[in-house]
Amino acid sequence: MEVSLYTKNNCGMCKNTKRYLQMIGVPFVEKNIEENEVYMDEARETGFTALPIVKTAEEVFSGHQPAKLEELFGSL
């Protein structure tokens, strides 16, 4: 399952989500919106305005949500 994680610099919730995904062994592609304008456009297309944004083929949600991450990826 491909996971995109939209982040920005100095975002504590982004760092927490990244750390949590690493801890539960979920591979992801980090897309820093401050370092690449294309990533900013992709993040806007999700309709969410708060980071981090977690996007898979089936789901997209915003914020640091460990319970949601565990629900989606706990079986990996």
pLDDT of residue 75: 56
Domain count for the chain, please give it: 1
Provide the domain limits for residue 67: 6-73
Quick check: is 1 in a domain?
no
Quick check: is 25 in a domain?
yes
pLDDT in tens, 19-75: 999 999 999 999 999 999 999 999 999 999 999 999 999 999 999 999 999 899 875
Q: For residue 48, which amino acid is it? A: F
Across-strand partners of 7? Answer: 32
Write down the pTM of the prediction.
0.93
CATH of the domain at 16: 3.40.30.10
Across-strand partners of 4? Answer: 29, 55
Please determine, for residue 18, whether its predicted confidence score (pLDDT) is greater than 60: yes
pLDDT of residue 76: 54
Quick check: is 21 in a domain?
yes
Structural tokens at position 47: 């309709």
